[in-house]
Structure 1
């Protein structure tokens, strides 16, 4: 990436994150977060793709626009065979990861090699898979990213030989959480030995919950910068802390409890990533849909339907024709936005939405951020599916959000 390109990327990320002056304490934190976000943040996305696809009801004729993040869900949406997926992200690292996965699905010899690369993600042989089968098919910018050297002198792609899911801001944050747990006498991996939800809950109540009451843990999580590793900027920190009467500690306790014991471990790969630092072993393991053997040929066949773009979703939509998008996935990006940014985004979503289009997103706090912040003239064109949103959110295995939200364009709203 040239200096000019890097400056442009930085400006786009600053535009999404920075709200305050550089001399204010919050402004300083926002700029620190912006700088961190230019690298890899999410080695794995933390939104449940099964819930997404159930809400979106994707059809073979649909065009889907989504924020890419770690591209796990982008790849999983391919199992529903929509006509087109346009994935956008402000982070060049996330764009490079998405393009790597698409090239791998298309050009690796088969599911075993694909699984070695992205399920296990820690095998020495993965470097040879990259060099022989993936690298020749990458565009120059993506190839430069993965061939680039890290501070330790290793090629960036070698992360897939050392445990890719322990890298990035989120991966390192979870690793630090494991270290902190052990300092309190708790090995989070022990949770994975529990063979029932009841035993999971007992382990949480007796071993994990007491950590949240410790004075040092409360002091640590009171610092807004302490949660940058979760991809939570200062604006979203305030929303998350306000979602519990006990503030940030209460919000984190509720979400950790749900992740630990809200679903059987055999069904929840998010819990395995959080508490085990990788995917569950064995043939019957819970996995993202795109990593399941039964879906590999579908993912391979459909990979050419995806484009990955380093851009904001609002700017991308502004360049599209009216009524040209059937489904939108906003992740939790709206928690970062000002009223003006929200209104501009929803004006473009409304303009580009085809009849019956669906929009889904998640929020740190339970309520939607739209009422009172986006003009009624825009929101009146959408039907907010309140009961459906609550029902889907309750089944979201990632368990870390306060709310899941579904809107349907009123043209064909049920």
Structure 2
């Protein structure tokens, strides 16, 4: 498939420069938010004059960061299918009210045909995205947020094997509004030896590799590192420090759906919806390797960068190359934020010397972030 550029109103650009035929498994890894976008908003401190660069993933962070109204938001992903998903989320948001959008995505039962909504927005998608979603149009009726490999894994394995045996206890914690009550109840009724054993067993490296095909679970993880133990300890931290009712990722992980509409991902919250919607034309979508994209640019042009957890997908040498490209294209006093999962990456010493490491913000996010599996790096580029 050839490279295509589709010009949108008000200078919006969508560039798919990677041929999607090279992707043998033609499906999406993530369709909803497995991250807490408030962490990126806290770390980046976006200003109206900022140009922001980030990894698309499920598209949830791309939309969430519009809540702070940057001048320009460039959403890059090497996986074209993730960008096709973002295209569809954007065009559906243009068309729909907040309530309708929740229904279209699957947060609420739909009072209309989701496929009919798709047909209305289809002409506004790039030809590549149109071709993709036509092949999977029947899936749209199920609700987009449930379709990714990760979301299916949560439903089939996490929910079935870990939630159902603890359904009564989890639902009780969902009703609690006191963290002290939740801690005590969790330790007495939830944090049992059987539950801990089940968690560690299900979260083995071999299970993730088989079920998800997600390189971040095995590409850069040593054989001695226990994925299950790490996730278990981070999960215990979450139960002890964050109310279940306020954690959209935890309820989706366990229940297969969002259980509290007052605590949805940022881009789905009613208070942010109109702001995000009016700024959709500031999004540019690029399908390419991020280092390739940056290498084509000649002068510094970005102020804020969010790399999600790509450090776990690639060898350290490749990750450092990306950091060098970012540093060369970032303006003075710019901010870089990324998440570490299992592979704990830090910049090379020569590169790190060009930044100030925001240790206070890092500690804050490591404690407050609702997506319990991640730790953070937040770096501010030194002024020239």
TM over 0.5: yes
1:330 maps onto 2:318 in alignment: no
Which of 58, 68, 72 lines up with 2:56 in the alignment?
68
Q: Provide the alpha-carbon RMSD of the alignment.
A: 2.9
Which of 204, 225, 229 lines up with 1:250 in the alignment?
229
In structure 1, the residue matched to 2:129 is: 142
Helix, strand or coil for the counterpart of 1:323? coil
Cα distance between partner residues in 2 of 1:383 and 1:73: 24
Cα distance between partner residues in 1 of 2:254 and 2:186: 12
Cα distance between partner residues in 2 of 1:209 and 1:143: 48
* CA apart distance, 1:302: 0.5
Q: Compared with structure 1, are the counterparts of its residues 54 and 316 closer, same or farther at alpha carbon in structure 2 (3 Å cutoff)?
A: same
Mapping of residues 12-411 of structure 1, within 5 Å: 38-108=26-96, 110-118=97-105, 120=107, 122-123=109-110, 125-131=112-118, 133-149=120-136, 155-160=138-143, 164-175=144-155, 176-181=157-162, 184=165, 189-190=170-171, 191-205=173-187, 206-214=189-197, 218-226=200-208, 229=212, 231=214, 232-238=216-222, 242=225, 247-281=226-260, 285-365=262-342, 368-371=344-347, 374=348, 376-401=349-374, 403-411=375-383
Bigger mean CA deviation after superposition, 131-140 or 309-318? 131-140
Give the paired residue count.
Answer: 366
* CA apart distance, 1:168: 1.4
Structure 2 unaligned segments of length 5 or more: list them: 3-15
TM-score by length of 1: 0.79
* CA apart distance, 1:69: 0.6
Deviations 1:115-172 (A, max 9, x none): 22236254262425524532232222112222214xxxx6232231xxx433311111
In structure 2, the residue matched to 1:22 is: none
Q: Compared with structure 1, are the counterparts of its residues 126 and 192 closer, same or farther at alpha carbon in structure 2 (3 Å cutoff)?
A: farther
Cα distance between partner residues in 1 of 2:168 and 2:221: 27
* CA apart distance, 1:382: 1.4
Structure 1 unaligned segments of length 5 or more: list them: 14-34
Helix, strand or coil for the counterpart of 1:159? coil
* CA apart distance, 1:408: 0.7
Contact 2:33 2:249 in 1 (8 A): no
Bigger mean CA deviation after superposition, 89-98 or 229-238? 229-238
Contact 2:36 2:369 in 1 (8 A): yes
Helix, strand or coil for the counterpart of 2:152? helix
Contact 2:175 2:245 in 1 (8 A): no
Q: Compared with structure 1, are the counterparts of its residues 137 and 6 closer, same or farther at alpha carbon in structure 2 (3 Å cutoff)?
A: closer
Contact 1:74 1:87 in 2 (8 A): yes
TM-score by length of 2: 0.85
Contact 1:263 1:397 in 2 (8 A): yes
Q: Which structure has more RCO (C-alpha within 8 Å, separation ≥ 6)?
A: 2
Contact 2:115 2:141 in 1 (8 A): no
